[in-house]
Amino acid sequence: MQRTLIGLILSLLLLPQARGAGDSFTLSAEQWALPRSGSALIHLAPIRDAMADWLATPDAHMVIQYSGSDTTNLWAGELQDWLVALGIPADHIDKHVSADQAEDALTLLVRR
C-alpha cells in the first residue's frame, strides 16, 4: 500500500503541470472493466489526471459524477473506495447524481 502511494506521488510529480481545478475526467466502463489494482488504476489517464489536479489544489474535493442507476451507484462507490486507498481522504470525496451523465461512464471533477 505504502509503495503504491509513494509511486503514485512520484509519478504525479513527474507529469507536466496539472490542469486547473474544475476540469473533468471521464472514466469509461471499458476502462473500468480491466483488472483493478492500485498501480493499474493510477495508470488510467482519467484517474491519474484527476489525482494530479487534486494534489495541485489545496483543500480540493474530488467529485464522482454518475447517472444514478444501481450499476453506476455501485461503480461510483467502488471508485470512491479505491480513491481512498490511493490516498484521498474520504471526507474529500463526494458522489453526485447527474441526469446528464452517460450510463457507461463516470466523470471525475476536482472542485475547490
**Span 46-59, average pLDDT:** 93
3 state DSSP class of 66: strand
pTM over 0.85: no
Alpha helix (H) ranges present in the chain?
Answer: 2-13, 29-32, 38-41, 45-56, 70-85
The answer to whether residue 1 scores a pLDDT higher than 80 is: no
Kindly report which listed range (18-32, 43-57, 60-74, 87-101) carries the lowest average pLDDT score.
18-32
Task: Check residue 109 and give left, alpha or beta (phi > 0: left; psi -120 to 50: alpha).
Answer: beta
